[in-house]
Amino acid sequence: MSAGWFRRRFLAGGPLPAPRPPGPRASPVPYRRPRFLRGSGSSPGAADASRRSDARPVRSPARGRTLPWNAGYAEIINAEKSEFNEDQAACGKLCIRRYEFGPEEDREWLTLCPEEFLMGHYWALFDGHGGPAAAILAANTLHSCLRRQLEAVVEGMVAAQPPMHLSGRCVCPSDPQFVEEKGIKAEDLVIGALEGAFQECDEVIGRELEASGQVGGCTALVAVSLQGKLYVANAGDSRAILVRRDEIRPLSSEFTPETERQRIQQLAFVYPELLADEFTRLEFPRRLKGDDLGQKVLFRDHHMSGWSYKCVEKSDLKYPLIHGHGRQARLLGTLAVSRGLGDHQLRVLDTNIQLKPFLLSVPQVTVLDVDQLDLQEEDVVVMATDGLWDVLSNEQVAWLVRSFLPGNREDPHRFSELAQMLIHSTQGKDDNLTGEGQVSYDDVSVFVIPLNSQSQGGSGY
């Protein structure tokens, strides 16, 4: 049992703003028949989460006290690629206890003393592939992994400087100096905890999928607000951006076969057996064919950022390890992302070639020092799965944010409506915005996180 608690907004209901009908520009496109889900409660995995011991409801049964809510606002749209939504989301408060505070009864007492905890917020988007199973498991699991990881180092996080020894014992008088020289700060422990949590969650998903005979994987984009900083951890092709009045700042990078080409080619160079003589690790502008034999064609290998020419040999005619461009780029002809959770069983069709060795579950973490920003009322972080970013650029999203928020200051539901409006903008209704009235045929999920409320220590909207 845990004295920390976690709330999945989509499961627990609670004091959320009531849904309002979307405005004209936000109306769903009939021919897409999108199902607007307030969360992912319709998926069995998500429903299961309410029975997990670490997913506490918002109303604490022990004390009957409703904790304040100030997390972001999310909308999810199901493209109906699968019966259950492959996009899954989770968010809630993170309450990190200290380990040494005695038995369970004492811990419970500590819920009355919030200053004994590190309090934070957690938002997560998971974009599944090969079915929703991995995304549902991730939505139900990752926050617990993160809490465990954070609790394992919380003593270091609350110290003025993380001590060399977690116990605080000083084996060597120069230890603080060594830590100082390495520039190790509390935020490095949070980054380490996020990295550890993603890996731990990946292992859990692997075990649970194998046990239940299910398959699949998912990307993971997580934001954590803690100690005045916002941590954004990303493994996959979702994206988070900061939108302010005069600034658009990317808070994540996408990890795809194209962006991680060199890492993936390098692995195939070290372990050629992973390609089982079926693929070539070299990159060419297109797949080569018989007519190219003996010609000098453009190529690049694992050590190259630039391009060169090579004389085509027969082995170059194999299917490329990474093939296609942009949205079409695939790893081993199969997968469009190079980091994420799950996929332990995934193999190239009709072969025994595994994808997993090429995938990383470890996220890249960026840190936004929220306390150092001169925050304005409308400063928000927008997190969304690739369904949004395929259709809208960072600039277009920022334009929508800036167009919508200032005119709706009195509306208590404005962040929720903004999230909904962003999703509607991917449904091809607004030619002016998306240029060619582009439509996203993917699941789309969006969080809008108002930063001003984060910096105000938890008093929500």
Nearer to a second copy (CB atom), residue 177 or residue 403: 177
Nearer to a second copy (CB atom), residue 305 or residue 352: 305
Least Å distance, CB 445 to a second copy, is: 26
Write the burial class of residue 455 (CB in 10 Å: 0-12 exposed, 13-18 middle, 19+ buried).
middle
Nearer to a second copy (CB atom), residue 30 or residue 326: 326
Place of tokens 């449904």: 427
Q: Long-range CB contacts (< 8 A, 24+ apart) of 208-211? A: 208/137, 209/133, 209/134, 209/137, 209/342, 209/344, 209/345, 210/344, 210/345
Least Å distance, CB 360 to a second copy, is: 8
Least Å distance, CB 295 to a second copy, is: 5
Least Å distance, CB 376 to a second copy, is: 28
Q: What letters, b where the CB count within 10 A reaches 16 and e where it falls short, cover 268-280? A: beeeeebbeeebb
State the CB neighbour count (10 A cutoff) for residue 374.
6
Least Å distance, CB 150 to a second copy, is: 10
Nearer to a second copy (CB atom), residue 79 or residue 164: 164
Q: Give yes or no for a contact between 299 and 284, defined as CB atoms under 8 angstroms apart.
A: yes
Least Å distance, CB 245 to a second copy, is: 25
Nearer to a second copy (CB atom), residue 73 or residue 122: 122
Q: Give yes or no for a contact between 123 and 31, defined as CB atoms under 8 angstroms apart.
A: no
Nearer to a second copy (CB atom), residue 291 or residue 374: 291
Nearer to a second copy (CB atom), residue 314 or residue 409: 314
Q: Give yes or no for a contact between 386 and 300, defined as CB atoms under 8 angstroms apart.
A: no
Q: Give yes or no for a contact between 67 and 58, defined as CB atoms under 8 angstroms apart.
A: yes
Nearer to a second copy (CB atom), residue 97 or residue 300: 300
Least Å distance, CB 256 to a second copy, is: 14
Nearer to a second copy (CB atom), residue 191 or residue 346: 191
Nearer to a second copy (CB atom), residue 189 or residue 397: 189
Least Å distance, CB 73 to a second copy, is: 29
Least Å distance, CB 306 to a second copy, is: 3
Alpha-carbon gap, residue 458 to 461, rounded angstroms: 9
Place of tokens 């595994």: 354
Least Å distance, CB 304 to a second copy, is: 5
Paired tokens of 348 = 């190239």
Q: Which residues sit opposite 77 in a β-bridge?
A: 36, 444
Alpha-carbon gap, residue 124 to 145, rounded angstroms: 13
Least Å distance, CB 366 to a second copy, is: 10
The residues that touch a second copy, with contacts defined as CB under 8 A, are: 149, 152-153, 156, 162, 164-167, 169, 171-172, 174-175, 178-179, 181-182, 184, 187-196, 199, 270, 285-286, 289, 291-292, 295-298, 300, 303-309, 325-326, 360, 362, 364-365
Judged by phi (left if over 0) then psi (alpha if -120 to 50, else beta), residue 161 lies in beta
Place of tokens 């496109």: 29
- Cα dihedral sign for 93, 98, 104, 109? negative
Closest CA to 222 of 63, 57, 340: 340
State the DSSP H helix or E strand holding residue 151, giving kind and residue range, or none if neither: helix 133-158
Q: Give yes or no for a contact between 193 and 150, defined as CB atoms under 8 angstroms apart.
A: yes
Segments of 202-359 assigned E as strands? 217-226, 229-235, 239-244, 247-250, 279-280, 296-299, 308-311, 319-320, 322-323, 330-331, 341-342
Nearer to a second copy (CB atom), residue 13 or residue 168: 168
Nearer to a second copy (CB atom), residue 169 or residue 409: 169
Least Å distance, CB 21 to a second copy, is: 42
Alpha-carbon gap, residue 200 to 188, rounded angstroms: 18
